[in-house]
Copies of this chain bind each other. A is one copy, B any other.
Amino acid sequence: MNKLKIPAAPSIRRLPSYLNLIRQAHAENYEFISGTFIANELHLEPIQVRKDLAITGIVGKPKCGYPVVPLITAIEHFLGWDAKKNVVVVGAGNLSTALTGYQEFRHHGLNFVAAFDNDPKKIGGTIHNVPIFSLDEMCVKVKEFEAQIAVLTVPSSSAQDSADRVVASGIKAIWNFTNTKLKLPDDVTCQQEDLTSGYAMLCVMMGENNPKRTKE
C-alpha cells in the first residue's frame, strides 16, 4: 500500500551532489571530470561514484573521466529535472517562504505557481511572488495552473486534511514536510521529508564522539 520501492534509492539521493560538483567543473571550463575526483571532493569511494554514474547511461573515457556536458544533461534527464513541474505549496508560513525563496529549486524545474493558507490575513498576498489563495480554492487553482506537485508545510494537525484536498484536486505527487504519515490512494506518490530524523542522526553522532558517553 503506497510503498513502491525505488531501486538504487541511495544512488539517486547522491546524484544531486554529483550534479552540483560537475556543474562547478563546467563553470571552470573542464571538459572531463573523473570519478576519483568527485569521490575525493565528497569523501566517497571512487567505485561508488562510478557505479552511481553508470545508472545515467553515460560512459566515461579511461584516463580522462566522464564528459562534463553530456553528464550534466544525463543526470538532469534521469532525475526529470529537465522538465518543468508546476508546484503548489500548502501552508504559507516560514517554511513555505524558505522553500519558495530557494532559487536552487527553480533550476531543477520546480516552478511554484500558488500557495494556499486559511489565514485571511495571508490570502490575497504573496510569498516570493507566489500568490496565496484560500484552501477552498485549491481544486480550481490546481487545474488553472496545471500543478503536478503539492508541497505540504502545514501543522501536523491539519496535514491529513490538507492532503485529502490535494488528492481531491487531482495532484499525484506530494512532498510532505509534516511529520504525519499520510493515508493516500495507491496512485499518489509521497516523499516524506523529516527534519527530526536528520537531527536524531546528529545527536547520536555527537554522543558517539563524546568521551563521556562512548565509555559505557
Residues in chain A within 8 A of chain B (CB atoms): 1-4, 6, 9, 12-17, 20, 41-43, 78-81, 85, 93-95, 97-99, 101-102, 104-105, 108-110, 148-149, 172-173, 175, 179, 181, 187, 189, 191, 193-209
Contacts and interface: CB of A to CB of B under 8 A. Distances in A.
How often does this chain occur in the complex, in copies? 2
A198 B195 CA distance: 11
Nearest to A96: B98
Contacts of A196: 16, 104-105, 108
Interface of A is mostly: helix
30 contacts: A1-B43, A2-B43, A6-B204, A12-B204, A13-B194, A16-B179, A17-B194, A17-B197, A80-B203, A80-B204, A80-B206, A81-B203, A93-B98, A94-B101, A97-B97, A99-B195, A104-B179, A108-B196, A108-B199, A148-B206, A149-B202, A149-B206, A172-B206, A172-B209, A173-B206, A175-B202, A187-B209, A191-B202, A191-B205, A193-B198
A23 to B, nearest CB: 11
Given A16-B179, A94-B94, A105-B199, 9 more contacts: A1-B43, A2-B43, A6-B204, A9-B201, A13-B200, A41-B181, A94-B101, A149-B206, A191-B198
A207 B97 contact: no
Contacts of A6: 201, 204-205, 208
A201 B13 contact: yes
A4 B191 contact: no
Nearest to A94: B98
Contacts of A199: 16, 105, 108, 110, 175, 191
Contacts of A173: 202, 205-206, 209
B98 A17 contact: no
Given A172-B206, A172-B209, A181-B41, A200 B98 contact: no
A4 B208 contact: yes
B98 A179 contact: no
Nearest to A213: B80
A73 B190 CA distance: 30
